[in-house]
Structure 1
Amino acid sequence: MAMRNTLVLIILLIAPLVVQAERQIHTTVFHTPSAEVESDARRIYTVELLRLALDKTVEDYGPYELRLVSGLSVRRMQQVAQLNKYENFFFKVSYTDQVAEQFTYAPFPIEFGIVGYRVCFVAPSFLQESNQVITLQQLQQHTVGQGLGWLDLDILQANEVPTVTVSQYLSLFPMVNKNRFDFLCRGINEIKLEMEQFAQSEPLTLNTSFIIRYPLPRFFFTNNSNPMATARINKGLHRAYTDGSAQALMLSFYKENIEFVDVKKRAIIPMTNPLIENIDKSYEQYVWGIEDLVFDK
């Protein structure tokens, strides 16, 4: 009897160690694109949000290792995911019906939809006139510069806003400064950084009369062969949202940028997005409204 009790005690003592060892053996590897430069807050935020989602689900799915893949453009990310080149490769991209047909995704908006809020650079000489624009009809009387292949180009054209297409991203800033087109509209999460980046070479200024709003959700996409990994990411994102850590992370990266554009003083110009006709709209409950972008209430 004493020996039996001793065996039971030994089993109870070593069982947690065995379970822990098994979980360590079954560490799940995930891959995601790295930030190419330290100042690329957008990609750094994406990596940290993915890491947060994985952290929130360790008890359910076991330990993980997140490996970063460098040198990937948006197009290359999709190619890598299609080829399933890396185990559990997740990348961020804006939803379109076409992309959703090719990949599986976790239906939680990575930046809470703030990328769909756009404010616009203008040339200093055009600032006063630009600030008369407060409606879509007025904006339709002006031109907006856009990068070749940008989703925003399709959205603006669908809303009958005249566009000027430019193949090189860096060319957009001197062109708007030289009045080659009237507006260069960027997401509220990126415009402050770009203004600082081009301050010396291009004396750009910011229109203050309106903010464009259209649905442009970005999700974590992956190869269709990764349903369990997708479920894990989705569960982790929702847990992080529920306990507030996802919102806190986003604000740690973007609150200063959001405050910079002072949305409460701007007229809202709503637009439709023809590229998301088949989307499951359940994601909308996590999208921030204008009231969520005002912090000094």
Structure 2
Amino acid sequence: MHRYFLPQHFLPQLCRPQFWVICCISLFASLSQAQDKVIRVNDNGTDPNAAYSLKMIQLAIDHIDTKYKIEVVRDNFSQTRVNEEVRTNGVLDMVWASSEATIESELHPIRICLYKGLLGYRIFIINKSNQYKFDQVNSLDDLRKLTVGPGKTWADTKILQANGFKVITATKYPNLFYMVDGGRFDGFPRGVHEPFGELAQRPELKDLTVEKNLMISYRMPFYLFTSHENKKLAADINLGLERAIADGSFDQVFYNDPNVKDVLAKANMKERKVFYIDNPLLSKETPLDRAELWFDPKSAP
């Protein structure tokens, strides 16, 4: 058994209150540094993008030295309330959302699209009897001759109108299915991940189907956001995502996500004729020149 003795000249130091105060401060500082920092996010259980976004945040955390842990808040907040809590450094630190110039002025974007732009690929729900109209489309001008029906307040509407499409809108989302079924317009544009489940939920609309051959594409980033003041968190998560892109793990998570795999299996994206249009809602800082950040259906595995 070893015995340790303090030098005689050190013993008086132990009797001084200042010594113990300094020790306590040092101990608490060490414990504080050892604890993981918290990233508070909201998931009320209805957001179809939550599980994937959380997976990507964890991927970023796994690629950086600063230790974070994710704390999920289960409040039934609206998207507006979530954004406001993040903007004001309230009960949330981060949010995921489709991006455009307005939200980027209110929140700080981490400009790496979690879905690699997949949400910007749109295919159509149509009445089966109208497939022949789409079969005759060989150019963007041909496609513009058909009528399309997005929601009245959707970002899609402004994008399509800005690109010269004939747009017929409805205020209520469910009405659009009955309108395309009844011939009010030719095609109901949907994100590639949306129409298959939507039609499965509406078996009574037996004449509706997913158009077979065409696809519209525009850049639709889906980012993580922090407040403008929370630059350290934004920089750390950006660094983690950049490292994940560099080592291939970002693409691995993306292509192995069940929802992404389901889309690629059902939407037949590689075989579709793609028409590229502009998104006038994008901010000027969108990294359009970085090809590795964007999904290309023709080169998908």
**TM-score scaled by structure 2?**
0.82
Q: Give 1:125 shift.
A: 1.8
Q: Which segments of 5 or more consecutive residues in structure 2 lack a partner in the other structure? A: 6-26
Structure 2 residue corresponding to 1:77, chosen from 67, 78, 82: 82
Q: Measure the CA separation in 1 of the matches of 2:180 and 2:61.
A: 42
Q: Give 1:241 shift.
A: 2.2
Task: State the Cα deviation string for residues 179-230 of structure 1 (Å, max 9, x = none).
Answer: 1211111111233322323334454211112111111111111211110111
Q: Which residue of 2 aligns with 1:8?
A: none
Q: Measure the CA separation in 2 of the matches of 1:84 and 1:202.
A: 48
Q: Measure the CA separation in 1 of the matches of 2:196 and 2:81.
A: 27
Q: Measure the CA separation in 2 of the matches of 1:62 and 1:277.
A: 31
Equivalent position SS for 1:165: coil
After superposition, where does 1:86-105 map in structure 2 within 5 Å? Answer: 86-88=91-93, 90-105=94-109
Q: Measure the CA separation in 2 of the matches of 1:76 and 1:292.
A: 39
Could you say what the CA RMSD is over the residues aligned between the two structures, in angstroms?
2.6
Q: Which segments of 5 or more consecutive residues in structure 1 lack a partner in the other structure? A: 5-16
Query: By percentage of residues, which structure has more helix?
Result: 1
* Matched residue type, 2:41: T
2:240 is aligned with 1:236: yes
* Matched residue type, 1:66: E
Structure 1 stretches of 4+ moved >6 Å: 17-20
2:275 is aligned with 1:266: no
Q: Measure the CA separation in 2 of the matches of 1:183 and 1:161.
A: 11
Q: Which residue of 2 aligns with 1:30?
A: 39
Q: Which residue of 2 aligns with 1:61?
A: 66
2:173 is aligned with 1:169: yes
**TM-score scaled by structure 1?**
0.83
Q: Measure the CA separation in 2 of the matches of 1:203 and 1:47.
A: 38
Q: Give 1:244 shift.
A: 2.7
* Matched residue type, 1:151: A
2:48 is aligned with 1:48: no
Q: Measure the CA separation in 2 of the matches of 1:158 and 1:21.
A: 56
Q: Give 1:234 shift.
A: 0.9
After superposition, where does 1:83-232 map in structure 2 within 5 Å? Answer: 83-88=88-93, 90-201=94-205, 203-232=207-236
Q: Give 1:287 shift.
A: 0.4
Are the equivalent residues in 1 in contact too, given 2:269–2:298 (CA < 8 A)?
Answer: no
Q: Which has the higher Rg, Structure 1 or Structure 2?
A: 2
Q: Measure the CA separation in 2 of the matches of 1:80 and 1:179.
A: 43
Which moves more between the two structures, 176-185 or 196-205? 196-205
Q: Measure the CA separation in 2 of the matches of 1:208 and 1:55.
A: 40
What is the percentage of aligned positions where both structures have the same residue?
Answer: 25
Q: Which residue of 2 aligns with 1:9?
A: none
Equivalenced residues, count: 276
